[in-house]
Every structure is written in structure tokens, then in C-alpha cells.
């Protein structure tokens, strides 16, 4: 540049400053990809909480004590309202439904429970029952499980928050 000549925008300042020669230029180009990776990681970590599992919602009673045990086999008992405004209890075990009001289905449940008890001795049977299921029905199912050979039968409750 010539001495005594003023520096103008077009004459020299703009031609001497090259923004692509900056050291931080590479970090600016990577920043959007870092954001994409962080968003993908967030979705993958939250995925189990965002996906709804198919099935029936069972309203379990609140726990009395804090001791928990691992579940081996689960038997679900629901109280279903029928068309005549009456309630009947359904038991779901090993992908089959059993109506407690039908004695033939209750004996079929006992046979199925006996088969599972013979296959896996020493395992635990958990009964998850809805809050609306009468206590007598739960005792009837526990008696059928004991008769089928289950030595360890437990009632499930809600998990603590």
C-alpha cells in the first residue's frame, strides 16, 4: 500500500482480511452436527419413556413395605364391567384368559398353573390384581395356585416413585 494514501474499504482493508484463514472456522462448521448428535442422543435415551406399551392398564394398590422381589411368572387379575352393569373377574396367565365365574375355566387355570409349577420348580408366581378385584377372588386364585403346586406366591403392588 502506498504511503499517504488513505485506506478505504475497497482499496486494502477488505483484500487483506481473509475470513477463511481464521483458526475457528472449522469449529463453526461442526457446530450444527454436534447439535444433531446431541438431539439424537436425547431421543435415544428417552425412547423407552416415550413409547407406549400395548396392553391393559392395571391399577395396582399402593405398597405397604419397601421390600421388592424379582418377578418370575406373572398372573394378572382384572375386574371387567359387563353389559348388565355387573362385574366379573378375568385372569390372564401365559397368554390365555380365564373367567373366574366359570368353574371349567378355573380348573383349566389350575391345570395350566400346575404345568408351569412342574416345569420350573422353585420359581415365584406374582399376582397383579386390579384395585376393583374382590379379596375373595384373589384368595380363590391363590388357593388354586397353591393347589397347583406353587410354593411361592406373592401379590404385586405399585412401584415406589
pLDDT per residue as tens digits for the range 95-143: 888 888 888 888 898 898 888 888 877 788 888 888 888 888 888 888 8
pLDDT per residue as tens digits for the range 14-35: 555 566 666 655 556 777 889 9
Residue 78, pLDDT above cutoff 60: yes
The residue ranking higher by pLDDT, 161 or 77, is: 77
**Average pLDDT score, the chain:** 75
How far apart, in whole angstroms, are the C-alpha atoms of residue 71 and residue 93? 14
How far apart, in whole angstroms, are the C-alpha atoms of residue 142 and residue 70? 18
Classify the phi-psi angles of 4: left when phi > 0, otherwise alpha if psi is within -120 to 50, otherwise beta. Answer: left
How far apart, in whole angstroms, are the C-alpha atoms of residue 125 and residue 58? 17
Amino acid at each position: 500500500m502506498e504511503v499517504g494514501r488513505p485506506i478505504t474499504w475497497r482499496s486494502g482493508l477488505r483484500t487483506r482480511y481473509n475470513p477463511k484463514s481464521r483458526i475457528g472456522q472449522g469449529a463453526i462448521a461442526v457446530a450444527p452436527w454436534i447439535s444433531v448428535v446431541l438431539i439424537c442422543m436425547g431421543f435415544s435415551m428417552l425412547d423407552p419413556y416415550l413409547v407406549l406399551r400395548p396392553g391393559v392398564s392395571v391399577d395396582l394398590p399402593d405398597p405397604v413395605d419397601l421390600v421388592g422381589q424379582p418377578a418370575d411368572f406373572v398372573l394378572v387379575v382384572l375386574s371387567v364391567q359387563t353389559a348388565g352393569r355387573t362385574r366379573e373377574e378375568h385372569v390372564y396367565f401365559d397368554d390365555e384368559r380365564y373367567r373366574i365365574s366359570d368353574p371349567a375355566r378355573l380348573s383349566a387355570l389350575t391345570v395350566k398353573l400346575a404345568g408351569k409349577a412342574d416345569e420350573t420348580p422353585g420359581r415365584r408366581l406374582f399376582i397383579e390384581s386390579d384395585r376393583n378385584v374382590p379379596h375373595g377372588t384373589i384368595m380363590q386364585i391363590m388357593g388354586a395356585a397353591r393347589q397347583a403346586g406353587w410354593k411361592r406366591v406373592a401379590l404385586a403392588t405399585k412401584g415406589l416413585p
